[in-house]
């Protein structure tokens, strides 16, 4: 496995995070140091400078930095917080398995089991393999830190068969830990599927609500580097093509990472031939025409989608039912396919349990991109749910505001009535005094 480091001359650092967008704290033309905080948001994680340099531009989406050629990765310029999860947030820890979900949210609760997910099983992703070839101890160290900080009693390394010997050799260091090597099948690396294989656990909602933390090797490596050496998450391992991997700064322009691969001659050629960049795995990844953006925390793999990986044209479903028995979640993919645009039906059919593993795709004789459809449907559902939640919150605020206005109006009416009564009393007194004066005068 060839792992090399990239020295970028410019960085395009994205500010969009999982559910929020970090707010810039630097300005154009400002000189910044390696490890300096560039942006932050209380609901997300801070963004640090991977290298020193000069800020070329700042927009709501991205900070562009001209990198000082002699600069290096450096520890974050912050005082580490005492509280574990706050310190995790401070180190910009997000899941490096592909979702970039903030770790300080995922690691809440009182977990009883830590599962170290070393099941990297989706081609062409191989950044975990690359990590084990350069820093095999580091994910284990991250696991120890996490387990100790959260008081987790049980730690399990779930490793695919090729990785198992590497962990087996390290087990004497953590004798109470278990090594679990599940039977390989499609989608086994997905959190839900893995926990069912491990404990027969069925997840209803996030794993942490049922006492499990499932952490990817890259995330634990990042935690160890932050905890022991003060490096916030400013770099990641990204696999490129089928063989290569880079240790690259977040924000590194993708063309700097792609040209040396056997999959692509260079970015210009790629653009000329309208090739599509695949970010992530063949099933869970996304296709992008944005070849010039900067590397982001969720980008675990880059490859070109060429004729050999392009899907065959889809044909109508022939209701052969081959997709149902292979679904590890016991779903009915053909039904999900039929109702892919009907949210209520999809929820009733259990779309939330779909891990988009693609097992159904692999057997479908009509070449229907089922997993991609389900991924889109889940995204639409998530958006719809967040819109509904926002609408509910707005409605609640509106009801409170209405009640407040009604109460104020009633209070005003009451005050006016009291004033009127007061005025009448004053009038009666004034009339009585006038009468008395008249009597006296006569
Ligand atoms: S429906 Fe298809 S993609 Fe979803 S979990 Fe089942 S087999 Fe995997
Ligand atoms: S395998 Fe494909 S064609 Fe057969 S029922 Fe499932 S979706 Fe339809």
Distance 313 CA to ligand 2 centre (A): 14
Choose among 6, 2, 13, 436: nearest CA to 256: 6
Ligand 1 contact, 329 CB (< 6 A): yes
Ligand 1 contact, 187 CB (< 6 A): yes
Span 398-408, average pLDDT: 94
Start-end of CATH 3.40.50.11540 domains in the chain: 90-233
| pLDDT bucket at 377, cuts 50 / 70 / 90 | very high
Span 198-211, average pLDDT: 87
What architecture (CATH level 2) is domain 90-233?
A: 3-Layer(aba) Sandwich (3.40)
Looking at per-residue pLDDT, the higher value among 7 and 384 belongs to: 384
- Asked if the model's pLDDT at residue 261 lies above 50, the reply is no
Q: Is the pTM of this model over 0.75?
A: yes
- Asked if the model's pLDDT at residue 128 lies above 80, the reply is yes
Looking at per-residue pLDDT, the higher value among 223 and 389 belongs to: 223
Span 21-36, average pLDDT: 97
Nearest CA to ligand 1 atom 1: 333
Distance 282 CA to ligand 2 centre (A): 20
Tell me the fold of 9-78: OB fold (Dihydrolipoamide Acetyltransferase, E2P) (2.40.50)
Ligand 1 contact, 355 CB (< 6 A): yes
| pLDDT bucket at 184, cuts 50 / 70 / 90 | confident
Residue 262, pLDDT score: 44
Most confident region among 119-133, 198-212, 247-261 by mean pLDDT: 119-133
Distance 335 CA to ligand 2 centre (A): 9
The answer to whether the CB of 119 falls within 8 A of the CB of 137 is: no
Mutate which of 186, 374, 378 for ligand 1 pocket (most atoms within 8 A of beta carbon) = 374
pLDDT in tens, 78-108: 999 999 999 999 999 999 988 899 999 999 9
Half-sphere exposure of 103 (CA within 13 A, CB side): 34
Residue 441, pLDDT score: 81
Nearest CA to ligand 1 atom 6: 327
List C-alpha distances in Å: 188 to 101, 143, 246, 352: 20, 21, 26, 17
Span 174-185, average pLDDT: 93
Span 241-268, average pLDDT: 76
Start-end of CATH 2.40.50 domains in the chain: 9-78
Residues lining ligand 2, Cβ inside 6 A = 317-323, 333-334, 337, 363-366, 368, 370
- Closest-approaching ligand to the CA atom of 371: 1
**Three-class DSSP labels, 186-226:** CCCCCHHHHHHHHHCCCCCCCHHHHCEEEEEHHHHHHHHHH
Contacts of 149 (CB under 8 A, 6+ apart): 84
Lowest mean per-residue pLDDT among 74-78, 204-208, 287-291, 391-395: 287-291
Ligand 1 contact, 368 CB (< 6 A): no
The answer to whether the CB of 83 falls within 8 A of the CB of 149 is: no
Contacts of 47 (CB under 8 A, 6+ apart): 13, 15, 22, 37, 38, 39, 40, 63, 92
Average pLDDT, the chain: 90
Burial label, 203 (beta-carbon count in 10 A; 0-12, 13-18, 19+): middle
């Amino acid at each position: 496995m060839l792992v090399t480091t990239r020295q970028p001359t410019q960085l395009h650092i994205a500010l969009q995070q999982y559910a929020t967008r970090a707010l810039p704290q630097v300005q154009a033309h400002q000189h910044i140091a390696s490890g300096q905080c560039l942006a932050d948001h209380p609901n997300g994680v801070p963004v640090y400078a991977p290298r020193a340099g000069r800020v070329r531009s700042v927009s709501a989406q991205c900070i562009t930095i001209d990198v000082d050629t002699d600069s290096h990765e450096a520890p974050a310029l912050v005082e580490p917080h005492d509280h574990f999860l706050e310190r995790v947030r401070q180190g910009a820890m997000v899941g490096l398995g592909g979702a970039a979900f903030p770790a300080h949210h995922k690691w809440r609760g009182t977990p009883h089991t830590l599962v170290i997910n070393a099941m990297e099983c989706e081609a062409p992703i191989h950044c975990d393999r690359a990590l084990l070839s350069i820093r095999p101890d580091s994910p284990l160290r991250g696991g120890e830190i996490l387990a100790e900080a959260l008081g987790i009693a049980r730690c399990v390394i779930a490793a695919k068969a090729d990785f198992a010997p590497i962990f087996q050799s390290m087990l004497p260091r953590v004798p109470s830990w278990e090594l679990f090597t599940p039977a390989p099948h499609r989608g086994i690396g997905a959190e839900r599927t893995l926990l069912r294989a491990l404990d027969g656990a069925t997840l209803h909602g996030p794993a942490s609500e049922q006492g499990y933390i499932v952490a990817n090797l890259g995330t634990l490596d990042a935690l160890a580097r932050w905890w022991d050496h003060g490096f916030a998450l400013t770099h990641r391992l990204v696999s490129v093509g089928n063989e290569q991997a880079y240790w690259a700064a977040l924000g590194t322009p993708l063309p700097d990472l792609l040209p040396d691969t056997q999959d692509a001659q260079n970015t210009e050629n790629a653009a000329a031939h309208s090739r599509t960049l695949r970010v992530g795995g063949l099933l869970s990844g996304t296709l992008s025409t944005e070849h010039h953006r900067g590397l982001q925390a969720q980008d675990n793999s880059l490859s070109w989608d060429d004729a050999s990986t392009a899907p065959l044209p889809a044909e109508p479903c022939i209701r052969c039912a081959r997709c149902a028995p292979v679904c590890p979640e016991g779903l009915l993919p053909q039904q999900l396919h039929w109702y892919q645009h009907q949210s209520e039906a999809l929820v009733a059919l259990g779309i939330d349990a779909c891990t988009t593993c693609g097992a159904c795709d692999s057997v479908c004789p009509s070449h229907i991109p089922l997993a991609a459809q389900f991924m889109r449907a889940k995204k639409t559902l998530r958006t719809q749910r967040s819109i509904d939640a926002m609408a509910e919150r707005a409605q609640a605020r509106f009801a409170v505001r209405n009640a407040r206005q009604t109460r104020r109006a009633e209070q005003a009416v009451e005050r006016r009535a009291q004033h009127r009564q007061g005025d009448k009393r004053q009038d009666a007194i004034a009339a009585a005094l006038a009468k008395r004066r008249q009597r006296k005068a006569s």
